Amino acid sequence: MKVPVHIAEKLLQLSQGESIPSSLAKHSLIEDLVSEGIIERKGRIQKSLLLSDNKALNTYLKNNYSINDLQQYIQVSKKEEVTRSELVAATSNSKHTGVRSFKGFLVNCYSPIQAKLNGKEITLNPVDGTFQFIYDFEKFTLSPDITIVGIENPENFRHIDKQKYLFTDINPLFVSRYPQNQSKDLIKWLKSIPNNYIHFGDFDFAGIGIYLYEFKKHLEDRTCFFVPENIDKLIADFGNKKRYDEQKINFVVKSIRERNLLHLISAIHKYRKGLDQEILISE
């Protein structure tokens, strides 16, 4: 059981010799401390709380809640990003608060790309069969002429060399939407940089939805949905009718102005099929 921050703040006030109204510190922990004689409740009508034994309070919090330092506990509990080492120092428990130890996202490219990470020049050039993981993405920047291509499915991300023919007119850095719990980091990074973004996903309503509601709404005019020129033939020849039937109910077209995307939606309806992006991996 955790001590709520507002109660921890009231305990800190008491430990500093202050008296506080009993009505502002209603919690089972306060009642336990009163019953233990560590805190006194005084007054007949407007009751107030006073700390009787500072040392006993520290011992009680350490033994029952693993709180080593009340002030540090409050500071750590309020932080948006906290390390496990800080949690151990404050609470003797690295799992006291959920910590995303593995933030960031994967990148891939088929030709070397110069970038900056934490102010230092680096070269992105993964060996075939490997990817690079950007952890300190907040301090990761690229030349503005690099176009970010977000890939929805892992197999396409793995085989970017077999999809070069799709992106001959840009200098791309490929980023992965998966693992999905990393996608918020990716979007946060995309919002912080000036580079254009192309979303390369499945050619169905689910893929369009991911683009519109995860990326487009944040990046607006800096982004577009990738649609190959021969999309009609691809959907007609390789599309999946069941995919269309399952997804059409939940798809609502809102104010879409991208001509390529409107053409894709029209083709999906025309052939009543959805298409996986893996079809574009050239053997």
- Exposure of 186 in the CB half-sphere (CA atoms within 13 A): 24
Q: Is 97 within the bounds of a domain?
A: no
Q: Please give the pLDDT value at position 261.
A: 95
Q: What's the CA gap between 179 and 66, in Å, rounded? A: 34
Residue 267 has pLDDT above 80, yes or no: yes
Confidence tier at 96 by pLDDT (50, 70, 90):
very low
Q: Please give the pLDDT value at position 84.
A: 46
Residue among 138, 103, 105 nearest 124 (CA): 105
Per cent of the chain over pLDDT 90 is 68
CA end-to-end span of the chain: 56
Mean pLDDT for the stretch of residues 201-208:
95
Q: Please give the pLDDT value at position 39.
A: 93
Query: 176 near 131, Cβ under 8 Å?
Result: yes
Query: Are 179 and 42 members of one domain?
Result: no
Q: What's the CA gap between 171 and 173, in Å, rounded? A: 7
CATH number at residue 189: 3.40.1360.10
Confidence tier at 212 by pLDDT (50, 70, 90):
very high
Q: Please give the pLDDT value at position 283.
A: 67
Q: Please give the pLDDT value at position 183.
A: 76
Task: Tell me if residue 126 falls in helix, strand or coil.
Answer: coil
CATH number at residue 62: 1.10.10
Q: Is 99 within the bounds of a domain?
A: no
> Which residue range forms the structural domain that includes residue 61?
5-91
Query: Are 36 and 112 members of one domain?
Result: no
Residue among 216, 189, 14 nearest 105 (CA): 189
Mean pLDDT for the stretch of residues 103-130:
94
Total number of domains in the chain: 2
Residue 71 has pLDDT above 90, yes or no: no
Q: What's the CA gap between 198 and 196, in Å, rounded? A: 7
Q: Please give the pLDDT value at position 209.
A: 92
Q: Please give the pLDDT value at position 192.
A: 95
Query: Are 68 and 148 members of one domain?
Result: no
Query: Are 113 and 239 members of one domain?
Result: yes
Q: Please give the pLDDT value at position 180.
A: 62
Query: 81 near 135, Cβ under 8 Å?
Result: no
Mean pLDDT for the stretch of residues 123-132:
93
Residue 226 has pLDDT above 50, yes or no: yes
Q: Please give the pLDDT value at position 101.
A: 55
Query: Which amino acid appears at position 110 of this protein?
Result: Y
Q: Please give the pLDDT value at position 252.
A: 75
Query: Are 34 and 80 members of one domain?
Result: yes
Q: What's the CA gap between 196 and 187, in Å, rounded? A: 13
Q: Is 251 within the bounds of a domain?
A: yes
Query: Are 85 and 115 members of one domain?
Result: no
Question: Structure tokens of 56?
Answer: 């006993």
Query: Are 148 and 217 members of one domain?
Result: yes
Give just the sign of the alpha carbon dihedral 199, 176, 214, 170: negative
Confidence tier at 236 by pLDDT (50, 70, 90):
very high
Question: How far, CA to CA in Å, does 54 sit from each of 12, 78, 172, 176, 235?
Answer: 10, 24, 61, 53, 73
Confidence tier at 45 by pLDDT (50, 70, 90):
confident
159-188 residue pLDDT tens:
999 999 999 999 999 999 887 656 789 999
Q: What's the CA gap between 218 and 45, in Å, rounded? A: 54
Average model confidence (pLDDT) for the chain? 88
Mean pLDDT for the stretch of residues 245-251:
87
Q: Please give the pLDDT value at position 44.
A: 77
Q: Is 189 within the bounds of a domain?
A: yes
